[in-house]
Structure 1
Amino acid sequence: MDEILGRAAELAAEYRASLNDRPVARTVDRAALRAAFGDLPEKPTPPAQVLEELARAAEPGLVATAGPRFFGFVVGGSLPAATAADILATGWDQNAFNAVLSPAAAAAEEAAGGWLKELLGLPATASAGFVTGGQAANTVGLAAARHHVLAEAGWDVERDGLHGAPRVRVVASEERHATIDRALRLLGFGTRAVEPVRAKVDGAIDVEHLRAVVEAEAGPTIVCLQAGNVNTGACDDVGKARAAAKHAWLHVDGAFGLWAAANPRTAHLLDGVELADSWACDGHKWLNVPYDSGFVFCSRPEVHAQTIAYRAAYLTGAGEVSGMGDLTLESSRRARGFAVWAALRELGRDGVAELVDRCCRLARRFARTLEAGGAEIANDVMLNQVLVSFGDDTDAVVDRVQRDGTCWLGGTTWRGRRFLRISVSGWTTTEADVDRSAAAILEAAAQ
């Protein structure tokens, strides 16, 4: 184990050291890549040999998402302490279902969960579940919402299901993320349950239209809000939404935008966020911890646990809410809290704020440089998202940039038009990386 784990760490460190110089992505022959992984052998293979074979087979297909010039999908790159902590977590091999299986994992999640709530401006009394990402967080948050609004109407959805239940209204912005719709499918509501609310020109929800939609009909109501529009970065006004939907359950999808609360210069975008009932957030985006890592918070811990927990006689220590498996969808799960704790310990309050603020500054630098080079910037760059248009050539520019390898970004459709979508989220990204990437984008456009 000493030899093979040491070699694995060495290979990982060599890869991370190469990120600044290697192409962010390369054209890959997928058939050849798959062939390199070979067939199932008849006989056992020495572990050290397996590790070397894996490193050789995977290398041509690795994308430098952890590097400084990957600007797609709101992807960060894991911090040093978080990376090392995740290696430890793998070596420790803890099952983080409850405190009996791993007291250390439970304590790490309790500590990190408290720090997260403090940084994100959420109630200290809220529950915190460590999930796989934004999809799981939205699904758990909306499941808790379903439980609560139906319980208030006298219906036990966990026992009786949705057949015959009072109708639940789901009110959400036309700019909601697709994970909201998938969660509604998984929870039995169906996407047709959504009553859409108009969005303003920046992509944030129109609160007055929200008020009109909510007041149009009484009954159990869930309102889905957003902190960080996936295209523009705009944040819904949670405080005003609370006033417009006094009796509804408010769920905030804050996959990356919720981190704006941790930075004094952007915290005003999330005024009133503490007034919501549940929140979803990612760790593997702006916090820069390894995949997979997400968080779901609920203002009513008992509702959270009643919705998700289950009991089995053989599960020692399952008689009370553990704050772990009782708040997440998995039973057997990795101990994600170690890496989150390490990232927050490495950065501290000031470091988290600086990380968020620096990414926002770099996004604005991207926008200024590209606009000066003739591109159209379609959004007010309030966070880390930049929408860039080169007219009819936009998709061709995206393709050229991706094939060039200097940086990586994707395309998106916003208000019926195609744009380059730039997300600045990585802790290693510098002004030089932005300038180098902007030059590559403008060169691709010129071609």
Structure 2
Amino acid sequence: MKTMSRELLHNAYERSERYLAEVDNQRVFPSNSDLMAMNRFEEPFPEKGHDPNDILKQLDEVGSPATVASTGSRYFGFVVGGSLPVTVGANWMATAWDQVASSAVTSPVADKIEKVTSGWLLEVLDLPRESVVGYVTGATMATFTALAAARHKILKKKGWNVEEDGLFGAPEIKVIVSDEVHVTVLKALSMLGLGKSRVIEVPTDANGALDIRKVPVLDDSTIVCTQAGNVNSGAFDPIGEICNRAQAANAWVHVDGAFGLWARSASSKAYLAEGIEKADSWTADGHKWLNTPYDGGIVICRDEDALYGAMSVSAAYLKEKSGASQSYIPEFSKRARGIDVWAALKFLGRDGLDDLITSRCDLAQHFAKGLEAMGLNVLNHVVLNQIVVSWDSAEKTGALIKAVQEDGTCWFGPTVWKGHNAFRLSVSSWKITQRDIDLSLKAIENAMKEIQTQK
């Protein structure tokens, strides 16, 4: 069995290594024939088990061609980072360890590494050092966790124990968002019983930042959900000003910083997030701009008691105490996600992280200028790594998206921005170079010429 295990892992390594070596040369989105080949997975449940090496072979030969090359260098569809090689290696090691990373009892090493990583994150993001950090699946669960802490604290002040008594008859909580609020925030609100249609929406400016003049009066029953990095435009809400108002009213401010929070680590972009440290909770993703493997979300909360009060449970066999990972997140059975984040931060260091963020923003500027030079319309002020683009009409914009996707050189998808049909480009992966941008620009230009010829 040991020999088989070693042979199997070596087989998996060779296939994985080959995939990563070739991913930049494959179509960014699978071809129709590659998609059709997945029908080979449709087979009756086996009566007898199969050889494990044959299983890996099928995954590689059928599965690998049908993957989206989001870990490659010309994927611009969503805010998806590639995986730094060191984080892939650390992820493999953590998978081999197979730790239940919820406490020092279930995994001393995961507990230690995640605690160290939490301190590093607070330092590099320059957030209040008394804050506590939890590692979850992504921004949806991070937002859910942070807003659960907000709900707990607000209702506790009113004499209501929401964890014990639920929301039936509870004092009302007022939730304020912008009209550009991300769907994950609304999903988190719905899961918390706060309602995604009961929010108060505040208008945004031309670049998608919340209009501070339109924010209603705040009080101690209010949660304000702000955005650090609009998912379309990259814009930042005036979070510092909102926090000043909130502190005066004893309201809670949450920051959806899934990718934009990392701007705090870049000397040339930190100004965008000025005052963000005054908020009460923050979310970020490792699998976006930090370029760690999926999945890896981060929740940060200034008030340890509020997060502990919302997330902790009592059971004789758990012996839970404040400070354990399970005290700050919904999950007990969790993989050691913090190890991926630790590996990325240790590999990059402060200077490397600054360069990673800054260089992606510079490439986005290069991309935007190239698109404008071809006669396309860049609809946003490119302040970060996000670009919103349209052509002359909704019809031509849609045709261009379809043609580029079919070409396979690069990939991006549609969006709607301030009433305009458009497409969005996100420059997130560590692998993207200027050559990748130029190849993508050429593919877009060729598609435009072909569409114009057809007309």
TM-score band w.r.t. shorter chain: over 0.9
Question: 2:128 and 2:167 mapped to 1: Cα distance?
Answer: 31
CA distance in 2, matches of 1:31, 1:368: 38
Query: Which structure 2 segments of 5+ residues have no match?
Result: 451-455
> Is the partner of 1:214 in helix, strand or coil?
coil
Whether 1:410 aligns to 2:403 is no
Q: Do the aligned residues in 2 keep the contact of 1:262 with 1:353 (CA within 8 Å)?
A: yes
Name the CA distance, whole Å, in 2 between partners of 1:117 and 1:152: 27
Match of 2:390 in 1: 389
**1:37·1:57 contact (CA, 8 Å) conserved in 2?**
no
Confirm or deny: 8 A CA contact 2:236 2:272 kept in the other structure.
Answer: yes
- Answer whether contact 1:171 1:214 (CA < 8 A) is retained: no
Deviation digits for residues 211-242 of structure 1, max 9, x if unmatched?
A: xx125xx4511000000001100011211111
CA distance in 2, matches of 1:254, 1:144: 17
For the pair 1:78 / 2:83, whether they are aligned, the reply is: yes
Q: Does 1:287 align with 2:285?
A: no
User: TM-score, normalization: structure 2?
Assistant: 0.95
Matched ranges for 1:40-79 at <5 A: 40-79=45-84
CA shift for structure 1 position 35: 3.0
Kept in 1, the 8 Å contact 2:19–2:64? The answer is no
Displacement of 1:83 in angstroms is: 0.4
Matched, 1:365 2:369: no
Which residue does 2:453 correspond to in 1?
A: none
1:60 is displaced (CA, Å) by 2.7
Instruction: Name the residue aligned to 1:170.
Output: 175
Q: Residue 274 of structure 1: which of 263, 273, 277 is its match? A: 277
Q: How does 1:40-439 map to 2 (within 5 A)?
A: 40-210=45-215, 213-215=216-218, 218-246=219-247, 247-315=250-318, 318-392=319-393, 393-439=396-442
State the AA in 2 paired with 1:344. Answer: L
Aligned with 2:31 (options 27, 31, 35):
27
- 1:34 and 1:200 map into 2 onto residues whose CA distance is 48
> Matches of 1:319 and 1:411 in 2, distance apart?
46
In the alignment, the residues of structure 1 paired with residue 209 and residue 158 of structure 2 have an alpha-carbon distance, to the nearest angstrom, of 30
CA distance in 1, matches of 2:234, 2:25: 30
SS in structure 1 of the partner of residue 113 of structure 2: helix
CA RMSD of aligned residues (A): 1.2
Q: Which amino acid aligns with 2:314?
A: R
1:177-200 Cα shifts (integer Å, max 9, x gaps) = 001111111000111220111111
CA contact (8 A) 2:102 2:324 kept: no
Q: Deviations over 1:158-182 (max 9, x none)?
A: 1111111111000111111001111
Give the whole-Å Cα distance in 2 for the aligned partners of 1:26 and 1:82.
25
Cα distance change of structure 1 residues 199 and 323 upon mapping to structure 2, 3 Å threshold: farther
* Aligned residue type for 1:364: Q
1:33–1:60 CA contact under 8 A, matched in 2: no
Deviation, 1:387, is 0.7
Amino acid of the residue matched to residue 174 of structure 2? R
Question: Matches of 1:427 and 1:42 in 2, distance apart?
Answer: 45
1:4 aligns with 2:8: yes
Q: What is the CA distance between 1:34 and its match in structure 2?
A: 3.3
1:444 partner SS: helix
Shift of the 219–344 alpha-carbon distance from structure 1 to 2, 3 Å rule, reads closer
- Of 31-40 and 112-121, deviating more is 31-40
Q: Which moved more, 1:291-300 or 1:3-12?
A: 3-12
Range with greater deviation from structure 2 (226-235 or 392-401):
392-401
CA positional deviation for 1:153:
1.5
Displacement of 1:37 in angstroms is: 5.0
Asked if the contact 1:129–1:323 (Cα under 8 Å) also holds between the matched residues in 2, the reply is no
Give the TM-score normalised by structure 1.
0.96
Partners of 1:127 and 1:323 within 8 A in 2: no
Q: Give CA deviations for 1:87-124 in whole Å, capped at 9, x if unaligned.
A: 11111111112110000000111111111111112111
Q: Secondary structure at the match of 1:23?
A: coil
Whether the aligned pair in 2 keeps the contact of 1:25 and 1:62 (CA below 8 Å) is yes
- Contact 1:76-1:427 within 8 A present in 2 as well: yes
